[in-house]
Structure 1
Amino acid sequence: MRAGALALGAILAVVSTFPAMSLGGPPAVVGVYVVIVALVLAADVARPPRWVLGGLVAVVAVGLVVAFVLGPPSWTPGLGSDRADALDVALTRLAGGLYPYTGLTYLGNPITPLPGSLVLAAPFWALTGHAAWQNVAWTLVLLPVLNGGWRLRPAPTLLWALVAITPEVAREFLVGDDLVSSVVPAVAAAAWVLRARSPLFLTTGAVALGIATCTRPHLALVVVIVAVAVGLRPSRRGRKASLPASTDSNDAFLPQGWRAGLLVGGIAALTWAVLIVPFLLGGTDRFSPLHVGAKVTGERGLHPAIVGIAVLALALLVAALVRLRPTTESAVGWCAAAVLIAPTVLSAGFWLLLTSSVWQADLTLGAGAVPFAAWALARSRGEDPSALVTRGFPSRRRRVSA
């Protein structure tokens, strides 16, 4: 627990460096780090009344909504973002029967979110006119994901509050950014897949995983992690005698081992294809998310260097997963967090080599690691999803004897 708390504290401090510097410089980052770690470690012994937890959630939620509505104050320059505007522009064009990816944001940038982002943001845009309202919903969804259900528990609830009030998350609420909140659906989908106890839930969970990760290219690695984890998990059929009779029929038809892993990975990959291919039919030159490759190779599109890097990263990831054998929610969460923090590490390493300093690096690139690290820490208290029987997600569950 202590090592995990330190890891989460370090991630929160690093990705919060930019907004913390804007609000007072590097010492503020150190202060955030120390406070977060101290409070998380204190959660091991804290047992507040339930009304206190409910009050904490209400105060944090109201504070985030107020921050979102008010927007950034005039005395904090440089905190802007056009990520939410990109979704608004794309969805407005799509609703008008236009190709969404030829639009430009108010900063003149192309639309880079993948189609999964449009699917997830569409309900919020339709109801409010602004996709950024999804930040509120996904931040609230993170709470039951960390708690493993709707019942508030002290440590996970405190973890949620700590994540929600860190400088980077607060910055995102102020400007409508989504580096942290947009990853929450992927965490929820990963938990859904890992807890599935019937073919129907496993299949629908894999579809949800495909949609939730088809938002940014590097989230495809999360699909690999979850699929490999499912494939590595031991068969439950050998333990059928210890399960309640009502679960036997489900387990009898539930794919086991690598068949289950391939099913999850295949369905998620097919979901990616269903979402992306229609936008490629009119020509790849119009599909603006491909311009992200220019940030690595200097050339737009699927440059051979990008393909080579992707294949190498995939091979290294699978080899590492087979070696580590992550099969619990906590292990999967830490593996995903390690992969998602990589852009921050790479950016910091590049600028360190170039300028002998990291202060010009975009340390917020790995902010998507935060929800996965928080989930891993919350689930590290010995709860193994393989010992749970699920009728839905995430609260209707009961333990079974091993």
Structure 2
Amino acid sequence: MFFIPLSDDVCTIVNASEVLKLDPQNFLKNPLFSEIESIEVSGKVLIFQGVLGNFIEKLVKSCYNDVRESDGSPPMSQEPRHLDNCIAQSDCMPSLEGDSEMAKHKINQHITINGVKRWITADTMQEFAEKVIKLSGTAPEPQKHPFYEYAWNWFNVYSKPTVATVTATTYERQLRAYLIPAFHELAVEDIGPDEVQRLFNSMSGAKTTKDKARMVLNQILDAAVEDKLISSNPLKSRRVKITGKASKATPPYTVEQMRYLIQHIGDIQNPVDRAYMALQALHPLRLEEVLGLAPEDIDCDNMTVHIRRAVTHPTRNQPEVKDTKTESSHRTIGLSSLAVPYLQQMESAGAFLFGGDKPLSYTQVRKMCQRIQRDTGFAENITPIRFRTTVLTDLYDQTKDIKLAQAAAGHTTSAMTLKYYVKGRETSSEAVAAVDRLYSA
């Protein structure tokens, strides 16, 4: 039997190279090594004692099978000769007599696990390693999921196909501008409250900007919880605080400014510009709703306007026709008598009231507003969103009916109307006067 200076079960490349009388630096490059099955553990290449012994025995048999007599003739005995001139017998790997099942495997090796010697049989080194891991009770480290891969998969599979284009564009912008740069080097499993808080601490701008990023990140981390990658959503930790300056509210035009504009609509040179100003300034419509109007949506006989669709611009100047923002936004409102003469002066043809066969782009709307400002001599910019806020403010101020204002706005709740659109016209002095009148009666 050949003595191999190895540990109980395995040897390193250095041990093996000493046995084979090879330079350790060149052992891995030697063609012999390709015939020896090995396993890599923690970056080290290890060879099992039995496997190396069998290989050496194979080399010895091969050498003595080729031995010739002194005159060059074939050996007298056809049986392979051992070093001590006896029939070769392999002692390097213990075997169990009569164990036919073990004999079927390429690897029959004993290994000590927790002080207990066990025999393991396997066809490949990978199978051997898996059995060792199983017997030792050591589970392989679970594979982690890079955040950027997981986030893009969530966006492309679960978000983009199910939300409006403008919403998907907003989500993608948050991923590219904030989330991917912040967590690019991290796995989903490595993101905790500290990492989340650092993200929002690094962001500047209004709190509404941070809230958009928070909305997207929250959906991604909720998905990770559902996939059991993390036990809880770190964004929902009580320690995480998202602060920032409040966004600037859209101020309504003053009553005096509105009176000036309405009186000077006739000064606008282009008939289409006049019709647009009459509709936008006198009705609580979103710009996307005005751009989505068709000629048949204006019913001058019954003095109504039907809002049935909207036009958004997800990529700024590429219009997209879609349903109204919410089910409540699909509505019919009253048509202002002040607007009727200017609508009748307009020649409309095509699918859209403004733009004809194709709705107007943002660039076209901006240029139209500049023409209106120039023709009317108005001191401030003509801003579509301010007209919606102004009309809703004055509608509520004159009627004190929040439900009426909500219906005109197309909002799902009256809270939305009050919070974002009804600004109030009364001053502090008027508030004091109202209290004085009540208490002095």
TM-score range, shorter chain: under 0.3
If asked which structure has higher relative contact order (CA below 8 Å, sep 6+), I would say 1
Structure with the higher fraction of residues in helix conformation: 1
Structure with the higher fraction of residues in strand conformation: 2
TM-score, normalising length: structure 1: 0.23
TM-score, normalising length: structure 2: 0.22
